[in-house]
């Protein structure tokens, strides 16, 4: 969803005013009234864009999460799910890399304010949950599908955050996108479902037999999902 230039300008003005005051006075000493006065707008304008003062510190995460969700939803059946979640995570790093100065300022602020650190952790959890939800669907044909999805999602987020924190601590020096590509490649190599960590064949004893008629090229995860849906409605 695109944002009109006027709305974007107002939003950016509020963020700029907020960070100016945070740097001058400190986060706790800055109020919403201070921010709107500095930005030259009314109090209602602030809450039209940000539900709280904490949200003005993270103005871009909602858009990044929406882009990640849409990117995963647009996946084709033939897409490698590991590659897809790594590419989705790269969208978040791109968001940080587009404005290094702001990203570094926010990082330093969140290190000083406990409440902001807690808020940031909740944002990270939402990214991880989005990746996990996608992977659980794609790994539905595996006996260890839920476990693998949760662990892979956590590993992808950990690799991303490892690179991100190092880049932010350096003051935004270097190319974080190239570094995160290397970190995510490590995750892909480690968790390739056909690699060394692949699960052994399941024990078929005492299992029900289900016969499914489907097209030859239908992905197995989609077949399993349809079978489970049918059994659940039986």
Least confident of 134-138, 194-198, 227-231: 194-198
Give the contacts of 65 (CB within 8 A, at least 6 positions apart).
123, 126, 127, 130
- Local confidence band at 2 (pLDDT 50, 70, 90 cut-offs): very low
Q: What pLDDT is attached to residue 1?
A: 40
Q: For residue range 9-18, what is the model confidence (pLDDT) as tens digits?
A: 888 899 999 9
Please give the structure tokens belonging to residue 77.
């059946």
Output the six-digit token pair for 193: 């479902």
Whole-prediction pTM value?
A: 0.76
207 pLDDT above the threshold of 70: no
Q: How far apart are CA 194 and CA 185, in angstroms?
A: 15
Q: Where are the alpha helices (DSSP H) in the chain?
A: 5-25, 32-39, 43-49, 53-57, 61-73, 81-97, 100-112, 114-138, 145-169, 176-191, 220-232
Of 83-92, 182-191, 213-222, 224-233, the range with the lowest mean pLDDT is 224-233
**Where along the chain do its domains lie?**
1-53, 60-191
* pLDDT for position 130: 97
User: Any idea of the CA torsion for 136, 141, 146, 152, to the nearest 10 degrees?
Assistant: -70
How many whole angstroms from its chain centre is CA 114?
A: 21
| C-alpha to C-alpha distance for 106 and 27, rounded to whole angstroms | 11
CATH node for 60-191: 1.10.357.10
Say if 1-53 and 60-191 have the same CATH topology. no
- Closest by Cα among 56, 62, 45, 64 to 16: 56
- CATH architecture designation of domain 1-53: Orthogonal Bundle (1.10)
Measured CA distances, 64 to 9, 46, 69, 70 (Å): 18, 21, 9, 10
């Amino acid at each position: 969803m695109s944002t009109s230039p006027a709305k974007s300008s107002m939003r950016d003005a509020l963020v700029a005013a907020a960070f100016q005051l945070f740097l001058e006075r400190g986060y706790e000493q800055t109020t919403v009234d201070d921010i709107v006065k500095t930005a030259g707008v009314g109090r209602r304008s602030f809450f039209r864009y940000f539900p709280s003062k904490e949200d003005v510190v993270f103005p871009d995460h909602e858009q990044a999460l929406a882009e990640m969700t849409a990117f995963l939803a647009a996946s084709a059946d033939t897409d490698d799910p590991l590659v897809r979640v790594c590419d989705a995570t790269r969208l978040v790093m791109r968001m940080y890399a587009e404005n290094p100065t702001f990203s570094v300022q926010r990082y330093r602020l969140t290190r000083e304010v406990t409440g902001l650190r807690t808020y940031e952790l909740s944002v990270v959890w939402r990214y991880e949950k989005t990746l996990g939800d996608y992977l659980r669907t794609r790994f539905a044909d595996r006996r260890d599908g839920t476990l693998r999805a949760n662990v892979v999602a956590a590993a992808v987020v950990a690799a991303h955050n490892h690179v991100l924190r190092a880049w932010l601590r350096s003051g935004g020096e270097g190319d974080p996108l190239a570094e995160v590509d290397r970190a995510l490649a490590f995750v892909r190599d480690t968790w390739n479902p056909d690699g060394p960590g692949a699960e052994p064949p399941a024990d078929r004893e005492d299992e029900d037999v289900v016969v499914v008629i489907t097209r030859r090229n239908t992905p197995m995860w989609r077949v399993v999902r349809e079978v489970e849906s049918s059994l659940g409605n039986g």
